[in-house]
Amino acid sequence: MAPVDVRKGMPPVKLSREEFESRYRSRFVDPAFRPLQRELDAIITAAWDGYANSRKAPITSRAGPGFADPDYEISVDWLAAREAVLTAQRRHDDASETPRILLINGSSRSEHTCPGEMSKTWRLIKLAQPVFAEMGFAVDILDLSRLTSEFGKQIHPCKSCVSTSMALCHWPCSCYPNYSLDQTDDWMNEIYPLWVAAHGIMIVTPVNWYHAPTGLKAMIDRLVCADGGNPDPTSTHGKKPDEAKALELKGWPYPRHLAGRHFGIVVHGDSVGAETLRRSLVDWLTDMSLISAGGMAETDGYIGYMEPYANSHQALDEDKAFQAEVLNVARALGNAVKLHRAGKYQDPGEGLVDPNPK
C-alpha cells in the first residue's frame, strides 16, 4: 500500500458560477431588493471575481521594520489587529493605568432577539460588575450574546493551523477576514485586545449540553493563538506549512501571550454538567498560564435544580446563596489582582521552566 500523503485530503470545494450566484443572491430575498437587480448583478460579478481568484486579503501593505521579512505584503486588517494588541499590552503593563477586569457573559440568550428574555447569566454579570467598580477597577464587559442579536457580529471557526505547526498559528489570528470566501465581520480582532488589556478575567456562563455555549466555545478555540502563537506572519510568508514546520523544528519558544493574568469562573446550570464545564474552563485557562484567583474564585451550581424553566428567573431571585457565591468570585479575583499589582503575590511556579511547553 502506498503511503498516505498527509497534505492531500478531499478536493477543494470550488463552486460553479451558477452555484456561487445562487448562494449570494439568497441573502437578498427581501422584496426591498427587487428594484436593485442591476446593482446586485454588478456586485455579484465583482464578488465572483474575488472568489474565483481567491483574493483572501485584497488590500495589503509592506510589513516594514521589525518583521522577519519587512518586504512581505501583509493584510492591512492583520496589521491593524496587531497594533490594537500591542496598544492593549502597553496599557496592561503601565503601572499608572487603572487595572482592568474583563467580565465575559458566555450566554447566547438575550431579550433583543429570540427568546425575548434576558439570560440569568447577564443578571449575574450585572451583579458582579459593581464589586469591581467599588474596588477601583475599570471594567470591560464582553457580552457574547451579541453574536445572536447584533448585525455583523461573528466568531468564525478555528481552522486548526496549530495541528500543522505552532508557527503557522499567528498571533493575533491571520485566518480572517477572508474576503474571497465572505468570511468577514469576525469579532475576534476586537476581542483579543480586551483579553490583553485585562489584569483579571471573570467568565460567567451557563452550561449547554454538558459544555460551553456555542459563542463561548468559538472564542475559546480562536484564543489558541494566544498560547504559543507566532507574532510574525512574515516568518512563514503567510500560511506556508513547510516554512512553519521548519521554523518550529528549530525550537519553538511557545510564547504565552496572556500569561500572568488572573481569572475567576462562575458556571450555572439547571440539571447537569456545571462542574464538568467549570473544570474544563479552569484547565483551559491554567494551560494558557493564567492564574486562578483561588478556590473562592471558582464556583459552579444549579439555579432552580430540576424545576420548570419558566420559573428560572424567580429561582435566581430566591437563591441568595448562589448570588453570594458570585459576589465572592468577584471579590477573590479583585483581591488577587490587587495583591499582584502591589507586588505581594507571587506565582509559585514563576521562574520554573516547563520541559514540555506544548
Q: Tens digits of per-residue pLDDT, 51-73?
A: 999 999 999 999 999 999 999 99
CA separation (Å) from 47 to 26, 40, 78, 319? 14, 10, 21, 54
Residue 237 · residue 269 · CB < 8 Å: no
Q: Grid coordinates in use for 223? A: 484564543
What is the rounded average pLDDT of the residues 332-358?
89
* DSSP of 313-337: HHHHHH-HHHHHHHHHHHHHHHHHH
**19 pLDDT above the threshold of 80:** yes
Q: pLDDT tens digits for 151-197?
A: 999 999 999 999 999 999 999 999 999 999 999 999 999 999 999 99
**12 pLDDT above the threshold of 80:** no
Q: pLDDT tens digits for 117-164?
A: 999 999 999 999 999 999 999 999 999 999 999 999 999 999 999 999
Q: Per mean pLDDT, which range of 2-11, 216-225, 335-344 is the poorest?
A: 2-11
CA separation (Å) from 177 to 56, 67, 147, 278, 297? 7, 21, 17, 31, 36
Query: Phi and psi for 113 in degrees, rounded to 5?
Result: -155, -165
Q: What is the pLDDT of residue 358?
A: 79
**265 pLDDT above the threshold of 90:** yes
Q: What is the pTM of this model?
A: 0.96
What is the rounded average pLDDT of the residues 279-293?
97
**3 pLDDT above the threshold of 80:** no
CA separation (Å) from 100 to 25, 96, 135, 183, 325? 44, 12, 11, 31, 21
Mean residue pLDDT of the chain comes to 96
Residue 183 · residue 87 · CB < 8 Å: no
**7 pLDDT above the threshold of 70:** no
What is the rounded average pLDDT of the residues 345-352?
82
Say which residue the cell 469591581 belongs to: 132
